[in-house]
Chain A
Amino acid sequence: MEGPVSVARSLGGRAHHNEKPPGVPVFELDDLSVEYGSFRAVDGIDLSIAANEITAFIGPSGCGKTTVLRCLNRMNDLIPSARVLGAVRYHGVDLYGPRIDPVEVRRRMGMVFQKPNPFPKSIYENVAFGPRVTGHQGDLDDLVEHSLRRAALWDEVKDKLRDSAYALSGGQQQRLCIARAIATNPDVVLMDEPCSALDPIATLRIEELMIDLKKEYTIIIVTHNMQQAARVSDRTAFFTVDVKETGDRTGRLVEFDDTGVIFTKPSQKATEDYITGRFG
């Protein structure tokens, strides 16, 4: 009990998270590095992520942006050789502290992946699964409807909740995954390339949904799509990759600023080269 309770105390619980004073960071990354065995994948990241904003991580392949994202909900714990150095503070609590329960951490952070990955179950069960596992006490039907409404999917599926999730289109499946991610009442939604498998119209719907959802959640998105980062995010972090003589590729943070600044007036030449397409 100690871990979750200490996080919950520090946070004051999910119901109060909108009462936080503005500008209090949800995440503070302090000299964060990630190693896989002897190989350092990401080096010395300092970053502060604000509540109720969309923060975009951009950068070339191998720059560590997904690795950093996965540090935020301790997904890297699932890789045996991975080692996280430095600090990740979540509402001021050290996420890698000895008494923190990774499962509780992941409950507070919904995650959406590149390819829509609904369970091979009905639409209803996809959304109800998480709350059931975490022992949801209230009316499950209400929660499923609420989550599907928040994910802008309710009107399209309300008459076929018992149909297989696989019968939905790719864009609908991704919105179902978002509904599933928010059904457990998280504080943060992490998105790893959420639109890369979608057509432009489905992409637009997800982007509109993200902007709507940031009122309630803190959203962090990894994207290869520069225009998407420019369209939806409030702040943008640009990562790059240094290639060593040994061939090792280590990611680092180059620049982190308001998205408007990054796309009109980046301070680092490497950022400018990347976003204007002159990189490499």
Chain B
Amino acid sequence: MTTDHHDSRHRFEESLEEVRTGILELGGLVLENVRRMGEALLENRLDLARIVVGADEEIDARYARLEFRVFEIMARQQPVAGDLRFLVASTRILYEIERSGDLAVNGAKGLIRREGYTMPPTIHSLVARLARGSTDLFAQGLEALRGLDPTAAAKIDHADDAVDSVVGELYQMIARNSENMGFDLAIELSRIGRYLERIGDHAVNIAEHVTFVVTGSFPGDGDAATRDE
């Protein structure tokens, strides 16, 4: 083992850490946008909605940079085992984060397009629960990545079930009030429900990818990672 070897391996490990930090920072930006989107919806804050839309450019640029960096590390270091799992999972986690960012932007754009929503109080409180639930889920997904916690997926999956049941309630309530609200708003609010639900799903996926990085298998999948060898 030469000094050169140690230097290059050290740089390799640094580059892996740089990717992980970069993903967490990107996740932080998206989390902030998801939180802003919820607040904008509930308080009819068009100014906040515009910030959400504006912040997406930086998110997309960082996403593209990180994805390229992962490709480059794969090409130049030919990683295997845990390093390979981490880098493959990184491209997937980046995708989950970037998609969540897009969903936040979609929600914000809807609000801007209609210049605010007038929601019946029951629906408002369901959207509030949903926004809080999805934001919490997304934060938990990032936390799983920060701590490389292979057990996080099970906990998040449980929390995601709760979010899904709120979405169910929301859809029922929208259907019941659709004539009073007008169909346009009913459709718009259904979409909002869908966006928030999907953000929760992406958070669950992030936690599952973390389980794959740490254990080599996806949760509940036995030996999926190597089964089709």
Contacts and interface: CB of A to CB of B under 8 A. Distances in A.
B1 A263 contact: no
B52 to A, nearest CB: 39
Interface string A247-267: 000000000001011011110
Given A264-B85, A276-B83, A280-B1, A227 B226 contact: no
Interface stretch (B21-29, B34-42, B74-82): B74-82
B9 interface: yes
Contacts of A280: 1
A276 B78 contact: no
B158 interface: no
B82 A276 contact: yes
B14 to A, nearest CB: 13
A264 B81 contact: yes
A184 B84 CA distance: 42
A258 B229 contact: yes
Contacts of B226: 258, 260-261, 264-265
Interface size class of B (residues with CB under 8 A): 10 to 19
A9 interface: no
Contact of A278 (B9, B84, B225, B229): B9
Interface in B74-98: 78-85
A56 B197 CA distance: 48
B81 A272 contact: yes
A218 to B, nearest CB: 20
Given A258-B229, A278-B9, A265 B81 contact: yes
B12 A272 contact: no
B5 interface: yes
Contacts of B216: 264-265
A275 B229 contact: no
Interface residues of A, number: 18
Interface in A180-232: 226-227, 230
Nearest to A271: B81
Q: Which residue, B9, B82, B83, B217, has most C-beta atoms of chain A within 10 A? A: B82
Contacts of A272: 81-82
Contact of B12 (A263, A264, A266, A277): A277
Contacts of B217: 265
Contacts of B80: 226, 230, 263-264, 275-276
A279 interface: yes
Nearest to A261: B226
Given A261-B226, A264-B225, A265-B225, A277 B81 contact: no
Contact of B81 (A227, A266, A279): A266
B144 to A, nearest CB: 19
A277 B81 CA distance: 11
Interface in B165-211: none
Nearest to B13: A278
Contacts of A277: 5, 9, 12
Given A258-B229, A264-B226, A277-B9, A227 B78 contact: yes
Q: Which residue, A266, A277, A279, has most C-beta atoms of chain B within 10 A? A: A277
Interface of B: 1, 5, 9, 12-13, 78-85, 216-217, 225-226, 229
9 contacts: A258-B226, A263-B81, A263-B84, A264-B80, A264-B85, A266-B81, A271-B81, A275-B81, A276-B79
Top 5 A-B pairs, shortest CB-CB distance = A265-B216, A260-B229, A280-B1, A263-B80, A272-B81
